[in-house]
Amino acid sequence: MRNAIIKLLLIIAAVLLIGWANRHYDSYTLSILNNIGIFAILALSYNLINGVTGQFSLEPNGFVAIGAYFTALFLLPADAKTDMFALVDPAPLVLSMHAGFIPAVISGGIAAMFIALLLSFPVFRVRGDYLAIVTLGFGFIIRIFALNNPAYTNGAMGLNDIPSTADFLWIGITALITFVVMLHIVYSRYGRAMKAVRDDEDAATAMGINTFKIKTIAFMTSAFFEGVGGGLLASFLTTITPDQFSFLLTFQLLIIIVLGGLGSMSGTLLATILVMGSMEWLRFLDDDMVIFGWHTGAHPGMRMVVFSILLIIMMLFARKGLFGDKELPELLREKFRKKGEQ
Amino acid sequence: MSEPLLEVRNVTMKFGGVTAIDDLSFKVEKGQIYGLIGPNGAGKTTIFNIITGNYLPTEGQILFDGQDITGTKPHKVVDKGIARTFQNIRLFKSMTVLENVLIGFHDRIRYSYLEAILRFPRFHTYERRIRAEAMGLLEEFGIASFADTNATALSYGNQRKVEIARALATQPRLLLLDEPAAGMNPIETEDLSRIIHKIKADYDLTVLLIEHDMKFVNAMCDRVTVLDYGEKIFEGPPAEAIVDERVISAYLGEFSNA
């Protein structure tokens, strides 16, 4: 009961903070916060399949693309699509798609979830790293599909002028919902079964766990939130092209979840803030700097060099990521218990 | 004579050209502690894997409580009431002792995915109930004080106990123990046999166990089957097994006259 009240208070505080930030920060700060929010949604859901369930997958870019395109096509009015599609006329199906913001974003999630279901049948029947290979290929297929079917996606020109409904209130609250949902999954019989599959699949089966079902559930949940994140991304950026959803996106998310600790949701959240934030905070490194009277000159890309070095140092000192596979309260409890014993 | 709970009927298992089990039959009666012994590579663990559905036998059937369960998927075999432990302890290494035992309750919890995400009252009811039950199991094994310790930090003997507790959580009628006393010192072994006798009585269990320690088998089992190269070379009470000539020669080799 006490825990439930604390949780409720924390959620209310987070909502108020999001609302306050949305009103008081300038658009530059908000765009950074929006980026962090969207990447938090993507990284948290990616962590469910990769970290908690331990199935090495490289799928996020594909599912994010599906979510983004679905949402964008639902949000754009029919005449805007006719104007925009320069190469070929939009397909009738594309023209007939129209929905409000919430159904549009959710439809992106559901589409991604459905495709995850289809993928899981061939992939989870066998063991090993097939998931990584299949999902890697899947990401490429989606991109190539988007490039070569201009009647549906406007090809390489992408979709522009997507209504920008997604402000920090939407994105922040969705990120909060994702965080809470992920924690609720992890601390339930489903989360326990996912961890069991990660630790020892044979032993999990011997406990009566249908490992195929558990892996599929984790994969579909992950895909749903990645689709939703993609939809928010489309509305936030107002323009999407197939090249945005390259493997680089997956790679960025992989860095985040490994840094945060595979299996730790609070670690992932912290890592998202650190990685996405430092991309901005380190921007001064690109400019000309004066160190003891010596001008370094402007080196565009210097921040990426420093960023990479910081990452390497972090991984050297925290092999299992910032939080390992534990959540923040668990870590604190362990610390206090150790202090008590001394 | 009571009816058999488990019947292995004419089971043959071939891996390519190698015959691991050759036309093996035996019956385990309700309430028995049945021993499966034999030298290394005799096919004891293979039989376990066939019973639990991990292997499909080349020929023959497994009957559980009169029902043919040959080829049933491993996780469904657990539903039917067969639980197992592993030869080399296989605990979930990222989890605490309590969480390990909670996994055993997986199939007995009846809240759905959505109910878990939205934290419906049913979620809390079930979680509270199984946590209490799991703690009860740990207390019975005398390891309740380790509930929040990482499972792999425990001593070997205690890890064994966690594994058995975890198997019991699935509410089995038949418990398969693969070398439960392996790597234990005599005191731990004695403790273990006391526990096995106790849970057998408390949970109305039938136990099928694989073991090398003949003293342990002698003290525990009502009946044994001795395997050598996949063939049954003896069946009967354990006291007779240790004086049987074929059993002795399987373990120690033939005495040569030279």
DSSP string, A3-64: HHHHHHHHHHHHHHHHHHHHHHS-HHHHHHHHHHHHHHHHHHHHHIIIIIS------HHHHH
Residue A330 banded pLDDT, cuts 50, 70, 90: confident
B243 versus B24: the higher-pLDDT residue is B24
pLDDT at residue A128 greater than cutoff 80: no
pTM exceeds 0.80: yes
B129 touching A, CB under 8 A? no
Token pair for A196 = 């069991």
pLDDT at A145: 92
* Strands lying side by side in the sheet with B18-29: B18-29, B4-15, B59-64, B67-68
pLDDT at B72: 92
Nearest chain B Cα distance for residue A185, angstroms? 6
pLDDT at residue A269 greater than cutoff 90: yes
**Which residue, A36, A43, A39, A6, is CA-closest to A329?**
A6
Residues near A103 by beta carbon (within 8 Å), at least 6 away in sequence: A74
Residue A342 banded pLDDT, cuts 50, 70, 90: low
pLDDT at A2: 81
Residues near A280 by beta carbon (within 8 Å), at least 6 away in sequence: A32
Residues of B in contact with A208 (CB under 8 A): 75, 78-79, 104, 106-107, 170
pLDDT at A333: 81
Please state, as a whole number, how many other Cβ atoms lie within 10 Å of the Cβ of residue A288.
10
Question: Are the C-beta atoms of A268 and A45 separated by less than 8 Å?
Answer: no
DSSP B32-66: -EEEEE-STTSSHHHHHHHHTTSS--SEEEEEETT
Tell me the pairing of strands B223-228 and B33-37: parallel
Whole-complex ipTM: 0.90
- In the stretch 155-214 of chain B, residues with CB closer than 8 A to chain A read 166-167, 169-170
pLDDT at residue B258 greater than cutoff 60: no
| Domain boundaries of chain B, sorted by first residue | 1-81+172-258, 91-170
**Which residue, B188, B178, B206, is CA-closest to B37?**
B178
Residue B52 banded pLDDT, cuts 50, 70, 90: very high
CA distance linking residue B173 with residue B154, whole number of Å? 27
pLDDT at A192: 95
pLDDT tens for residues B127-163?
A: 999 999 999 999 988 899 999 999 999 988 899 999 9
Indicate the length of chain A as a whole number.
Answer: 342
pLDDT at A34: 94
Question: What are phi and psi for residue B132, nearest 5 degrees?
Answer: -65, -45
What's the mean pLDDT in A20-28?
91
* Strands lying side by side in the sheet with B174-178: B82-84, B174-178, B206-210, B33-37, B223-228, B231-236
pLDDT tens for residues B202-230?
A: 999 999 999 887 888 888 899 999 998 88
pLDDT tens for residues A204-252?
A: 999 999 999 999 999 999 999 999 999 999 999 999 999 999 888 999 9
Residues of B in contact with A204 (CB under 8 A): 92, 103
pLDDT at B51: 94
Nearest chain A Cα distance for residue B17, angstroms? 25
What's the mean pLDDT in A99-108?
94
pLDDT at B156: 87
Residues of B in contact with A207 (CB under 8 A): 78, 103-104, 106, 166-167, 169-170
Q: What CATH class has B1-81+172-258? A: alpha beta
pLDDT at residue A341 greater than cutoff 60: no
pLDDT tens for residues A282-316?
A: 888 888 777 787 877 777 788 888 888 888 888 88
pLDDT at B1: 52
DSSP A173-225: HHHHHHHHHHHHHHTSHHHHHHHHHHH-HHHHHHTT--HHHHHHHHHHHHHHH
Closest-CA residue of B relative to A212 is B75
pLDDT at A205: 93
pLDDT at B41: 82
Q: Kindly state the percentage of chain A with pLDDT values over 70.
A: 99
pLDDT at A218: 96
pLDDT at residue B257 greater than cutoff 60: no
pLDDT at residue B169 greater than cutoff 80: yes
CA distance linking residue A261 with residue A256, whole number of Å? 8
Token pair for A239 = 């323009």
CA distance linking residue B143 with residue B136, whole number of Å? 10
Q: What does pLDDT average to over chain B?
A: 90
Contact flag B94-A198 (C-beta cutoff 8 Å): yes
Token pair for B209 = 């166990």
pLDDT at B129: 94
| Domain boundaries of chain A, sorted by first residue | 2-246
A55 versus A2: the higher-pLDDT residue is A55
What's the mean pLDDT in B249-254?
78
pLDDT at A339: 64
Chain B contact probe: residue of A207, A211, A334 with most B CBs at under 10 A = A207
A206 touching B, CB under 8 A? yes
Residue A334 banded pLDDT, cuts 50, 70, 90: confident
pLDDT at B36: 92
Residue A132 banded pLDDT, cuts 50, 70, 90: confident
pLDDT at residue B2 greater than cutoff 70: no
A246 touching B, CB under 8 A? no
Residue B255 banded pLDDT, cuts 50, 70, 90: low
